[in-house]
Chain A
Amino acid sequence: MYRRALTALQKFTLRLDVAINRVYPTDLNPLYYTGGLTNLFLFILVVSGIFIFFYYVPSLFEGHASIVYLTEQVPYGGLIRGIHRYSADAFIVAAVLHLLRNWFTDRYLFSRDSPWISGMFMLLLGGFIGATGYILVWDERALAVLGVFDGLLRSIPIVGRAFAELVIGGEGLGEATLPRILLLHVGPASALYVLLWWHYVRLRHPKIWPPATWVLVNLGVVTLLAALIPAVSGTPATPGARPGAMPLDVFFLLPFWLAGLMPPLLVVLLVAGLFVLGFVIPYVNRESDPEMGVRHAGVAQVIDGNCTGCELCYYDCPYNAIVMVPSPHPGLSRAAASRKLLAVVLDSRCVECGICIGACPFEALELPGMLESEITRAATEAVGVAGAGRA
């Protein structure tokens, strides 16, 4: 049931690609760069965030006023604030598109669970950072969000109260609150870069940035939005006052809205449950082994006797699954006898793609399920079949 749904979603995703590729050259298809777009928006967030950081005062009395000062008095301050606000939404949109695309196109198999798991952590952290960002503005909505957040945390049994006090900076609202929230906003944002290292570590040539066209267009759209729909603060937060209606940001504040409809512990369990399901995804294969067919031909094997240590496979492997080690003994063939290095395949990182086999000029690599002898035999037979099929 899950498998059939996933296959249908894969078909939809790839059909969409065919349509998009009629308009753009394929290597400019924006959907191939969802990760790069997320990174772009993160970069914009960090730069605009640093600018805002210089003006923000994390105190109950000046928090709201400092942001209003930035928005209204500083030249283009409102623009920078708006850019920060809209890139945050764009970050979540791009991250979710990235998640969906990699999910629907099987890009989490074998050792690619590493980027997946780190990505789920980043999504979780990103959502948290966004929520704290809304609190920092310290308007009516911020107070409501903080209150709900406090309630959600306290609903967790045993540890809930400690977490809530950690976030609020004490037993209740006080002067320590906004500096604490600021720390919880900037600190995890920096931690995102550590998680990004983990995200990239198993990949060679990760696509970190989108092509120039998309960098510019997205930067421009975010700036346009910031100018045309200015981000404004609501009325200053007054603790104890009854909050009125507030605009909902669906990208970050959905759990907080849900908390108004159901018990807080249920919201916590729902969010936690979704993330647990997310962590499980890379370990549920959409296709069974026979269905994968040639794509599951076994981990690449180095034919020790032939390897000359030329490093071509090492440079071509997209997953850094081949390492060169000092050769413990000479090879068997003439070229391999004088080698200094030997290629070793790290099984845990190999995704069985066979690119190393194509790279090797010395027939020193094979996929167990698709040997060179089988390929050449199939090709010779195919020539015969093709001849028989001529008009």
Chain B
Amino acid sequence: MNDAHRSYVISVYVLALVGALCAGLILVGERFGSPERRDFWALGGAALGMIFVVYGLILLMLRKLGMIGLRRAEVEDDLRGRWTKPVP
């Protein structure tokens, strides 16, 4: 595993942690939010937005690790003798 891959893997863990934290914040927002204390609803909403962003970025990291697929036609497989560059 080279440096770039290592940093992607670490990013996935960090992002997952952030996502878990946000899930917790959503629960907090639900528990304490009310029409009189709308800032908790806002907190829950921001956490929800953050979860979407985190999920999207995790997918991006997985793609850069080569773990999730792209169109079959572009994958450099054994047929090509692996002389070309890997997925950027």
Contacts and interface: CB of A to CB of B under 8 A. Distances in A.
A23 B64 CA distance: 10
B32 interface: no
Interface string A42-71: 000000000000000000000000000000
A348 interface: no
Given A24-B88, A227-B42, A216 B55 contact: yes
Interface stretch (A74-82, A304-312, A318-326): A74-82
A227 B52 contact: no
A216 B63 contact: no
Contacts, number: 86
A24 B38 CA distance: 38
A78 B41 contact: yes
Contacts of A216: 52-53, 55-56, 59
Interface stretch (A88-96, A207-215, A271-279): A207-215
Given A72-B35, A216-B59, A25 B45 contact: no
A28 B41 contact: no
B50 interface: yes
Given A79-B41, A213-B57, A219 B52 contact: yes
Given A75-B33, A216-B56, A224 B44 contact: no
Nearest to B61: A213
Given A25-B88, A220-B51, A220-B53, A213 B45 contact: no
A221 B48 CA distance: 10
A4 interface: no
A223 B26 CA distance: 13
A215 B55 CA distance: 10
Contacts of A227: 42-46, 48-49
B70 to A, nearest CB: 6
Contacts of A228: 42, 46
Interface in B31-88: 33, 35, 38, 41-46, 48-57, 59-60, 63-64, 70-71, 74, 87-88
B52 A220 contact: yes
Contacts of A75: 33, 41
Interface residues of B, number: 28
Contacts of B71: 27
A224 B88 contact: no
Given A75-B33, A228-B46, A27 B52 contact: no
Given A213-B59, A228-B46, A72 B52 contact: no
A329 to B, nearest CB: 37
A221 B57 CA distance: 12
B45 to A, nearest CB: 3
B52 A25 contact: no
A339 B25 CA distance: 66
A21 B44 contact: no
Interface in A10-30: 21-28
B42 A230 contact: yes
B60 A221 contact: no
B3 to A, nearest CB: 16
A27 B70 contact: yes
Given A22-B88, A223-B52, A224-B46, A72 B38 contact: yes
A76 B41 contact: yes
Given A73-B35, A228-B42, A28 B60 contact: yes
A26 B26 CA distance: 34
Q: Which of A72, A221, A227 has the most CB of B within 10 A?
A: A227
Interface of B: 33, 35, 38, 41-46, 48-57, 59-60, 63-64, 70-71, 74, 87-88
22 contacts: A27-B74, A28-B60, A72-B38, A73-B35, A75-B41, A76-B41, A76-B44, A78-B38, A78-B41, A78-B42, A79-B41, A79-B45, A213-B59, A213-B63, A216-B52, A220-B50, A220-B51, A223-B48, A223-B52, A226-B45, A227-B44, A228-B42
Question: Closest 7 A-B residue pairs measured CB to CB?
Answer: A220-B52, A223-B49, A216-B56, A224-B49, A227-B45, A220-B53, A217-B56
